[in-house]
């Protein structure tokens, strides 16, 4: 169990921090969970949708959302040299270039500068037992790379990169809820054993607790998804078992808040999902914000 109370809520004086670590290796172009939809497409949609939802969570009827969160989206792959060189860095973008090259940006920054607003088609209930197609506005801050820019999986180097970001953030926000890192990957590290690096990352802390590392294993397998396991024995994929061991146990306070929201979490549950679809990815991501959700209105 991670050390700490994990009781702090995100507020303007003490914002929270969420960092996405995104595997951009070539195999992420394969279909997800036995379907033809590329894994990288599902991940891209989940990240953009979550950012939009997070901004909405911070909107309180004012001109702009309140600064409750810092957000990072860090991508990693390699070039195609022999031996390959890691390519790791921020991949979030805005139309006005204000976000490019920044490891962390605030929800206000994201609100001010989306990369694009796309029209998406969605079927909704027509109120008479049928479905009707409607067009929704879908803001975008992250777009997947081209296939020729996707290669290896330098997971160890990527975790170290995030450790540097999170260490600096913790030093500057000692009274905040600790950072939450959400790692989305389909693969096996090509640069060594990631478990010791993950342990070093999880050792970072604020006064409220140690950093939480959640892992989402997106697989091409058609196997039954596993959501928030408490033992690696329920996992059949060795890569998934590694990601399970790397994942943080959910603190009691986070589990309690999850139960209130109807998410069942037994003792020993880890922040990990295997063979996730878009909905399960979002569920994992949302778990990362449960502890750090803004305080009730009378305390804001």
pLDDT attached to residue 236:
85
Q: How confident is the model at residue 300 (pLDDT cuts 50, 70, 90)?
A: very low
Q: What is the mean pLDDT of residues 5-30?
A: 93
Percent of the chain with pLDDT over 90: 63
Beta-bridge mates of residue 38: 31
**Residue 99 placed within a domain:** yes
CATH of the domain at 256: 3.40.50.410
* Helices assigned H by DSSP within the chain: 39-57, 107-112, 155-172, 194-202, 238-246, 252-260, 278-290
**Residue 254 placed within a domain:** yes
User: How far is 11 from 67, CA to CA, in rounded Å?
Assistant: 7
**Residue 9 placed within a domain:** no
Nearest of 262, 238, 233, 103 to residue 168 by alpha carbon: 103
**Residue 4 placed within a domain:** no
Domain with 29, as residue range(s), is 16-299
pLDDT attached to residue 299:
39
Q: What is the pTM of this model?
A: 0.91
**Residue 192 placed within a domain:** yes
Q: Does residue 296 have a pLDDT over 60? A: no
The backbone torsions φ and ψ at residue 209, rounded to the nearest 5 degrees and listed phi first, read 160, 175
The answer to which of 4-18, 105-119, 148-162, 255-269 has the lowest mean pLDDT is 255-269
pLDDT by residue (tens digit) across 91-135?
999 999 999 999 999 999 999 999 999 987 776 666 777 777 778
What domain count does the chain have?
Answer: 1
**Residue 7 placed within a domain:** no
**Residue 8 placed within a domain:** no
Nearest of 212, 196, 197 to residue 164 by alpha carbon: 197
């Amino acid at each position: 169990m991670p050390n700490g109370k994990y009781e702090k809520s995100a507020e303007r004086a003490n914002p929270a921090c969420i960092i996405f670590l995104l595997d951009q290796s070539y195999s992420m172009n394969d279909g997800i969970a036995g379907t033809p939809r590329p894994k990288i497409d599902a991940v891209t949609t989940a990240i953009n949708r979550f950012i939009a939802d997070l901004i909405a969570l911070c909107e309180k009827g004012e001109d702009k959302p309140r600064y409750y969160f810092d957000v990072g989206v860090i991508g990693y792959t390699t070039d195609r040299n022999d031996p390959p060189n890691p390519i790791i860095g921020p991949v979030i973008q805005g139309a006005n270039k204000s976000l490019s090259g920044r490891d962390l940006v605030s929800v206000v920054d994201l609100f001010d500068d989306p990369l694009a607003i796309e029209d998406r088609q969605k079927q909704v209930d027509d109120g008479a037992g049928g479905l009707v197609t409607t067009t929704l506005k879908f803001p975008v801050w992250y777009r997947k790379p081209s296939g020729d820019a996707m290669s290896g999986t330098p997971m160890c180097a990527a975790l170290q990169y995030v450790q540097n970001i999170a260490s600096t953030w913790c030093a500057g926000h000692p009274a905040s809820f600790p950072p939450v890192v959400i790692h989305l990957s389909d693969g096996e590290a090509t640069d060594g054993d990631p478990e010791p690096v993950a342990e070093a990352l999880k050792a970072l802390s604020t006064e409220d607790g140690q950093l939480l590392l959640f892992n989402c294993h997106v697989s091409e397998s058609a196997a039954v998804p596993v959501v928030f396991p408490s033992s690696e024995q329920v996992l059949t994929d060795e890569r998934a078992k590694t990601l399970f061991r790397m994942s943080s146990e959910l603190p009691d306070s986070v589990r309690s808040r999850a139960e209130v929201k109807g998410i069942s979490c037994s003792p020993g549950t880890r922040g990990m999902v295997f063979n996730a679809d878009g909905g399960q990815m979002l569920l994992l991501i949302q778990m990362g914000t449960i502890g750090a959700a803004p305080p009730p209105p009378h305390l804001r």
